[in-house]
Structure 1
Amino acid sequence: MASLKNQKSTKLELLNFKSISTRTFWITSFAFFLCFFAWFGIVPFMPDVVRDLGLTPDQKWNSIILAVSGTVFARLLIGKLCDKYGPRLCYTWLLMLGAIPVVLIGFVQTPIQFLICRLFIGFIGASFVITQVHTSIMFAPNIVGTANATSAGWGNLGGGANRLGMPLIATAVISFGIAETDAWRYSMVIAGVMCFIMGVVYFFFTKDTPNGNYKELREKGELPQTKKDEVGFLEVLKDYRVWILFVVYAASFGIELTVYGTMDDYLQNTFKLSRLSAGNIVLSFALMNIFARTLGGFFGDKFGKLKGLRGRVLFLVVILGLEGIMLTTFSSITVLPIAIGFLILFSLSVQMAEGATFSVVPFINKKAIGSISGIVGAGGNVGAFLAAMLLKSKSAVAEKIAIADNQGAAQEVIEAAQASASSMAVSSGYLFIGISIMVVSILALSIKFSIQDEESVAEEMKNSLLLAADK
């Protein structure tokens, strides 16, 4: 493994395409972008889907829950597969197989079919794990946090870009004579085809490591054999730090997913914004991934240089606590400009917390980076599932009561009562979630590293920088 360490890039040189690390960074980031684009591609069309398929409020919430639930199992599995087969093959197959349910959702005719497709589309959310594994393999300790955070942040942009991209695709489809009511179907088919093509690109234009692919390196004896990998996975399962990071990522990425998925309705119901205005605000929230997550990884690396591995943990604790404070405060604000200000601060802190988490992950157990990334990444979706269940239980019940209490009134009156009930329910849910995040930040303080771990990372960083200076 020493030869692999020596080849890792010590800089994130975005325009140095001669570097295999740089090429991999761009390709894996764009693949992740497309996966998120397709994963949440249906979100801008949900009002059309509700009308077309006749979804009930429960079914609408269930589709949000299923979209993040399938990813939990996929991320747990894909991390182990990355350790065994390498990120290149794993990403290739994930993109090509994941394209199938994305295409099929364009052909659904019933709510059940729609829910099944959303469940399986969620599997492509496992792309995050492969992206983090691939960048962890390609970059040295002094820059790995920044590289991981940037690739993940730019990939996450797909979840915001679809709010612009999907309507544009739909408009293009309509210009070819397709009925407007069917535009969302054709748009999802196109998104699926894009994922499939990206799978082919990933196979032919990336390598597993700076030295070559896993299969070749194992034949040369430069990588551990499968049995050793399995021991590493057992060690991962027994390591308490992995499960704390699991909870930390649930409190950061998991909450971002849920807030992102519910904020449109909340802004419309609470501040009486139009669908377009609310969508643009949420889009801005998602577009902060251009820099916010990178900042988390960057400061994680900086604190790592100053205070070692413990410094990375301390920064994570601080930024996670700030995230909880921002969401808690936002939940009680009813003045739009102030609410937007705290929403921006929440967006900044939650994405920085995600970047900071994966500035710690690569140092837990270097023999099983894939397995650790998979477990921690799955934590994000478990958090999203639990948060969505909480908000659903509050909002759906409140809406039903409002409808029942106003039965026989004008439709406008019923809709206004339903919106008000949903707003209050989601607000109380955000408050509870914010307080929970602050508790998790305190829990993160218990993550410890041995003196041997600190010395090993310091030595690897020193060797990588010396090698880079000699080039």
Structure 2
Amino acid sequence: MEDKLNLFSFKGKYRILHLTWFAFFMTFVVWLGLGPMMPFIQEALSLTEQQAKVLLILNVAMTIPARIIVGMLVDKLGPKILFSAILILGGLISIAFSWMQSYEQLALLRFLSGFIGAGFVVGIRIISEWFPVKQTGIAQGIYGGWGNFGSAGAAFCLPFIASSFGDVNGWRYAITIASVLAILYGVFYYFNVSNTPKGSTYFKPKKSGAMEVSSYLDLALYIVMNIPLYLALSLLTWKLSPANMAMISSTIEDVIYCVLTVIFVLQVFKTWHINAQHLAQGVPRQHQYKFKQVAILDWAYLVTFGTELAVVSILAMFYVDWFELPKITAALLAGVYPFINLFARPCGGYLSDKHGRKLTLMIVFFGISLSFLALGNVDKSWSIYLVVLLTIVGGIFSKAGSGAVFAMVPLIQRRLTGQIAGMAGAFGNVGAVMFLTLNSLVDYDQFFMLIGTVSTIVLVLIVVFLEEPKGYMTEILDDGTVEIIKLN
């Protein structure tokens, strides 16, 4: 069995890895290109600071339900069709956004654009199909890290494209060009990948609509863990309400709250329906897993990816507002933050493979806590060089943490990988909504301090409750035979 990755190869599993991380890269160029473009959009349309910040929150909100839904669909339909559809449809919506004229139109289209961030979940499943367990961490880290670099690519390229046109519509041309490239790549991806290696079985859950669990206690925890997803969307609704931005009426606000409540109740019934008979009959040993593992990884990703999304969204504006840097300089410095995804996230996965998944998570969370608590003490008299250095250190730990989280996700329960990844991914966006909403209410130093505090709480959960995957994972093939997958 081959032990080392050959990243210079473009055959077999390496071909899938390279094609898939670039698909993820393109989704992030389109999705998170809003951050470095925001100073241009704000100036061209004379947006207030609060209007700009709300657009950034809207940009990550739709990704919360989208990642849950896409997680279910990818387990059922397969990654190939879903990734292509997300790139094509997401690109079309992004083009529409770039040519809207009113703020209300921009807000609606940016909210809808958020679903393109769900593409990440699709890649987690296809990479887990093509790479063995002992390479899962590093392969997922490369996929996630190099794909996440799309936000850096957007930060480096889009401001220059926008500036090169020399008029107020430069930002529109830049976003349109990126979106057209995403659409073209979506078509290319569909005709050049397959869901599994030849002869392999694509494991699917018995039922779709909710995750299958192993005990009634796990079922209760699963239901409780869905609540933060709805609270994040409620928080966004409150932010748009007459009491804050006044972008929606009190009647629409009440309707949204009622709809979210009804959807949650229906989801609880669906979850119970799927699991009731499943649990009453007894769960086969090979299908059992501990849902607390999923829950802790969800909270961990809320911190790691939630931090990444929030910080990359506000960093250019932070440098402009607090240190009065030119817009392009601020965008370039902000681009350094996602740039470190190229090595930090793969390193998190690699260290997880080599030295243990729980130990790696403990170390990176200790680093996240320290660096962001330090940033929580920043003020305008600090050297810009020190501030940039601290954001880079915090970024290294948070991105390595994302790699460590998804080094463990595929080892919980193979056939539910898409749903587990979808839920963890959704929590990442819950973190982004939470942190960005706070950013719209307080100063930047308090924003950084909250990240450090939440990270410290999750570190305690990891130390006390997370278990290192050990032993074997089994799956039943279509012909009835059992495949045994060694976890360590």
TM-score normalised by length of structure 2: 0.77
Contact 1:361 1:373 in 2 (8 A): yes
Match of 1:241 in 2: 293
Contact 2:63 2:116 in 1 (8 A): yes
> Which residue identity lines up with residue 423 of structure 2 in the other structure?
I
Contact 1:54 1:111 in 2 (8 A): no
Provide Cα deviations, 1:27-53, integer angstroms capped at 9, x if missing partner: 111111111001122333323322333
Higher mean C-alpha displacement, 222-231 vs 121-130: 222-231
Unaligned runs of 5+ in 1: 1-5, 304-310, 395-424, 464-471
Match of 2:261 in 1: none
Distance in 1, Cα, partners of 2:178 & 2:94: 7
Distance in 2, Cα, partners of 1:437 & 1:376: 16
> Which residue identity lines up with residue 311 of structure 2 in the other structure?
V
Distance in 2, Cα, partners of 1:434 & 1:191: 34
2:15 is aligned, of 12, 19, 23, to 23
2:470 equivalent to 1:454? yes
Match of 1:200 in 2: 187
* 1:325 Cα offset (Å): 0.8
* 1:430 Cα offset (Å): 1.1
Distance in 1, Cα, partners of 2:421 & 2:85: 18
1:325–1:114 distance in 2 versus 1, CA, 3 Å: same
Distance in 2, Cα, partners of 1:231 & 1:391: 33
Contact 1:229 1:367 in 2 (8 A): no
Across the two proteins, how many residue pairs are aligned to each other?
403
Contact 2:471 2:486 in 1 (8 A): no
* 1:10 Cα offset (Å): 5.2
> Which residue identity lines up with residue 345 of structure 1 in the other structure?
V
Higher helix share: 1
Contact 1:140 1:461 in 2 (8 A): no
Match of 1:186 in 2: 173
2:331 equivalent to 1:279? yes
Contact 1:233 1:371 in 2 (8 A): no
Q: How does 1:247-396 map to 2 (within 5 A)?
A: 247-303=299-355, 311-333=356-378, 334-394=382-442
* 1:272 Cα offset (Å): 3.7
Provide Cα deviations, 1:38-92, integer angstroms capped at 9, x if missing partner: 1122333323322333322222111010101111111111111111011111111
Q: How does 1:110-149 map to 2 (within 5 A)?
A: 110-149=102-141
Distance in 2, Cα, partners of 1:337 & 1:27: 36
Distance in 2, Cα, partners of 1:372 & 1:116: 29
2:432 equivalent to 1:440? no
> Which residue identity lines up with residue 398 of structure 2 in the other structure?
V
Higher mean C-alpha displacement, 28-37 vs 160-169: 160-169
Distance in 2, Cα, partners of 1:155 & 1:357: 16
Distance in 1, Cα, partners of 2:352 & 2:23: 25
Distance in 1, Cα, partners of 2:487 & 2:373: 42
Contact 1:10 1:139 in 2 (8 A): no
Distance in 2, Cα, partners of 1:122 & 1:231: 22
- Does the residue aligned with 1:22 lie in a helix, a strand or coil? helix
2:206 is aligned, of 208, 227, 247, to 227
Distance in 1, Cα, partners of 2:86 & 2:360: 33
> Which residue identity lines up with residue 312 of structure 1 in the other structure?
R
> Which residue identity lines up with residue 375 of structure 2 in the other structure?
F
Provide Cα deviations, 1:106-132, integer angstroms capped at 9, x if missing partner: 220100110111111111111111111
Match of 1:87 in 2: 79
1:390–1:88 distance in 2 versus 1, CA, 3 Å: same
Distance in 1, Cα, partners of 2:397 & 2:55: 27
Distance in 2, Cα, partners of 1:295 & 1:16: 20
Provide Cα deviations, 1:405-458, integer angstroms capped at 9, x if missing partner: xxxxxxxxxxxxxxxxxxxx21022112212211111112244449xx622159
Distance in 2, Cα, partners of 1:71 & 1:254: 12
Contact 2:155 2:334 in 1 (8 A): no
Distance in 1, Cα, partners of 2:470 & 2:99: 54
* 1:234 Cα offset (Å): 4.6
> Which residue identity lines up with residue 322 of structure 2 in the other structure?
T
Q: How does 1:383-422 map to 2 (within 5 A)?
A: 383-394=431-442
Distance in 1, Cα, partners of 2:141 & 2:348: 7
* 1:224 Cα offset (Å): 4.9
Higher mean C-alpha displacement, 50-59 vs 92-101: 50-59
1:208–1:146 distance in 2 versus 1, CA, 3 Å: same
2:156 is aligned, of 144, 164, 178, to 164
* 1:164 Cα offset (Å): 2.0
Distance in 2, Cα, partners of 1:167 & 1:302: 40
1:56–1:87 distance in 2 versus 1, CA, 3 Å: same
- Does the residue aligned with 2:133 lie in a helix, a strand or coil? coil
> Which residue identity lines up with residue 460 of structure 1 in the other structure?
I
2:197 equivalent to 1:210? yes
Aligned-residue sequence identity (percent) comes to 30
> Which residue identity lines up with residue 101 of structure 2 in the other structure?
Q
Distance in 1, Cα, partners of 2:171 & 2:98: 7
Contact 1:254 1:380 in 2 (8 A): yes
Match of 2:38 in 1: 46
Match of 1:308 in 2: none
Distance in 1, Cα, partners of 2:46 & 2:160: 25
CA RMSD of aligned residues (A): 2.4
Contact 2:472 2:487 in 1 (8 A): no
* 1:23 Cα offset (Å): 0.9
TM-score normalised by length of structure 1: 0.80
Contact 1:325 1:435 in 2 (8 A): no
Match of 1:467 in 2: none
Unaligned runs of 5+ in 2: 223-290, 475-483
Contact 1:170 1:183 in 2 (8 A): yes
1:449–1:41 distance in 2 versus 1, CA, 3 Å: closer
* 1:230 Cα offset (Å): 6.4
* 1:268 Cα offset (Å): 3.1
* 1:462 Cα offset (Å): 8.9
* 1:225 Cα offset (Å): 5.8
Higher mean C-alpha displacement, 193-202 vs 441-450: 441-450
Distance in 2, Cα, partners of 1:51 & 1:448: 47
Distance in 1, Cα, partners of 2:465 & 2:455: 16
Higher mean C-alpha displacement, 282-291 vs 332-341: 332-341
> Which residue identity lines up with residue 439 of structure 1 in the other structure?
I
- Does the residue aligned with 1:205 lie in a helix, a strand or coil? coil
* 1:278 Cα offset (Å): 2.6
